[in-house]
Amino acid sequence: MRKSIATVSVSGSLTEKLAAIAHAGFDGVEIFENDLLTCPLSPQEVRLRAADLGVSIDLYQPFRDFEAVPADLLARNLRRAERKFEVMERLGVTQLLVCSNISPDAVDDDELAAEHLRLLGERAAEHGIRVAYEALAWGRHVNDYLHAWRIVRMADHPHLGTCLDSFHILSRGSDPGGIEAIPADRIFFLQLADAPLLAMDVLQWSRHYRCFPGQGDFDVAGLVAHVLRAGYTGPLSLEVFNDVFRQADADRTAVDAMRSLITLEESVAHRLGQAPPIPRPVIPTGFAFAELATPDTARLSELLTALGFLRTGTHPGKPVELWEQGDARILLNTGGDGPELAAIGLESPDPAGSVERAQSLLAPVLPRRRAPEEAPLDAVAAPDGTPLFFCRTAQPDHPSWTDDFGPKGPVTGDITHIDHVALTQPWHHFDEASLFYSSVLGLRRHESLELADPYGLLRSRAVTSPDGAIRVALNITHIGPQPSRPDLPYQHVALASQDIVATARRLRTLGDLLLPIPANYYDDLEARYQVEPTIRDLGLLYDRDEYGEFLHVYTVAVGRVFFEIVQRSGGYQGYGASNAPIRLAVQHAGAARHALHP
């Protein structure tokens, strides 16, 4: 289907918005009136600019507070409409969005509303323009899409139809199934937005928290399926307002928007029993490696050795070491400004298919220089810039990237594999990252959590593979200008241990390698649960959910990187989120001490 987006959904001037929208591959655009009013170009020049970019102007919006008003206001509103029709003719757009009235002057009279909208339809027809009437979720008297449709049906004019907006429908909890009863030729336009489920005023919810489909909690795909079953053939158009997009880079936002529509089309195709429009997701089966970059590998080498890792090889052409224990592999790269988590390797049953899927969803494939004898290894960039490599390790039918490091034997120990990685995202990339990992990699998004930081707030959302072999925690932090500011943003690699008590005991004997946990934590823990004294003695942290129990411990940080050692039992699904405030407080305190006494 054709894809469109409202100019209000991206930042910048109208010309910048049009360029970004066209570059992302959109077919059409909704011109938001304020964007035109602030533009130095004339409507004719905007029309030519859009045409040069290959983008049609599908809708002009919004026209507010028109229907069901006293006679004197109606006369003024009709004069206002005539001027807008003239502007639209110069823009070359033939469809006007009219929002249901929110003015205190509006009268609760459906017949009067229908009469006024019929008049508007007659005036619009003289200019070759159609009017799409939309029920705002906060409309004074009309706030439901079926109510708006009843008024349109009463008005009975061929140039008057309805506009369906997923936010206005789903935010009110309305059943979108009724859409299928609306004749297709009377559904003039479809606007799409997602949103997190929040208990707040619907107007503020709409203005500040809308997001692209797949980034929130609404069943947008289900709504679109109903619209398509009704026979709608117009564009899928995004109309999103939020505080992040108003500040974010327009090109990046437009690409994110297009990715959301491509993913939405795939979801709708599944709902309708149709072939998906893009290659199927290739879900990773585990972590191949985590790569840490640092100009000086000494401290990280010491920490890895203490954790039981062995250096099993060095790359012949790059300053990269391979450290292994069980199926956990860490690459140490001598370079960059780190220490930092520089790349992630993902086990893929079909690396070429993983790349094809990523490209279809506009993920940039990263160029990689390699010698002829090196194993092929393709990577794409995640929204925060982290390279994601698609690997097949030690498979007989595919070259293994580990062969580049020479022959090696098994390294056994307490650590068995990488349990999860935690990536701190730039604050304006959080929703983009959530959509990227779920759409490109086929991972499942979990509930977004907000956790207390001593100087602010940590927001976290996990994305996982169905079997839990891949777990990625996406974090953003909001903190004030405190002395511990240099310790952010943290990134960490969580390593699974089959005997965390033994792991922690060994680390304790080797020095101050583990994060010191306050005694007050254990006083509270023991008041809530019956736990073994070993937990306090070794500085372990504890959590449980309905599936099982979780023990974990954190190492001290090396720069911005630290390790977490975890042990899950009984099917525990979480990440010890209740203990994150403890970790953050201790890390802040340590960073503050280091800043005062480097």
Question: Which sign, positive or negative, has the C-alpha torsion 269, 274, 277, 281?
Answer: positive
Residues 336 and 223 in one domain: no
Question: Of 216, 248, 271, which residue constitutes the final position of a domain?
Answer: 271
* pLDDT confidence of residue 459: 86
* pLDDT confidence of residue 9: 96
Residues 12 and 96 in one domain: yes
Q: Which of 141-150, 200-209, 485-494 has the lowest mean pLDDT?
A: 485-494
CB 492 within 8 A of CB 555: no
Residues 294 and 232 in one domain: no
In a domain, 511, yes or no: yes
Residues 226 and 299 in one domain: no
* pLDDT confidence of residue 591: 65
Residues 203 and 343 in one domain: no
pLDDT tens sequence across 308-331: 999 999 998 899 999 999 999 999
Phi, psi torsion values for 72, nearest 5 degrees: -65, -35
Residues 237 and 324 in one domain: no
In a domain, 150, yes or no: yes
Question: Which sign, positive or negative, has the C-alpha torsion 129, 135, 137, 138?
Answer: positive
Instruction: Report the number of distinct structural domains present in the chain.
Output: 2
The overall average pLDDT reported for the chain is 92
* pLDDT confidence of residue 46: 98
Higher pLDDT, 373 or 86: 86
**Residue 421: which of 337, 341, 498 has the closest Cα?**
341
pLDDT tens sequence across 231-270: 999 999 999 988 887 788 899 999 999 999 999 999 999 9
Average pLDDT of the residues in 577-593: 83
Domain that holds residue 152: 3-271
pLDDT tens sequence across 32-48: 999 999 999 999 999 99
* pLDDT confidence of residue 376: 77
Q: Widest CA span of the chain, in angstroms?
A: 88
Residues 261 and 339 in one domain: no
Residues 416 and 560 in one domain: yes
**Residue 359: which of 444, 259, 274, 267 has the closest Cα?**
259
**Residue 133: which of 155, 154, 110, 161 has the closest Cα?**
161
Question: Of 205, 240, 271, which residue constitutes the final position of a domain?
Answer: 271
What does DSSP assign to residue 217?
S
* pLDDT confidence of residue 453: 80
Residues 495 and 584 in one domain: yes
Using pLDDT thresholds of 50, 70 and 90, give the confidence band for residue 476.
Answer: confident
pLDDT tens sequence across 389-414: 999 887 777 678 888 888 777 889 99
pLDDT tens sequence across 194-237: 998 888 889 998 888 899 999 999 999 999 999 999 999 999 99
Residues 247 and 312 in one domain: no
* pLDDT confidence of residue 60: 98
pLDDT tens sequence across 511-551: 899 999 999 999 999 999 999 999 999 999 999 999 999 99
Is pLDDT of 487 > 50? no
pLDDT tens sequence across 541-574: 999 999 999 999 999 999 889 999 999 999 999 9
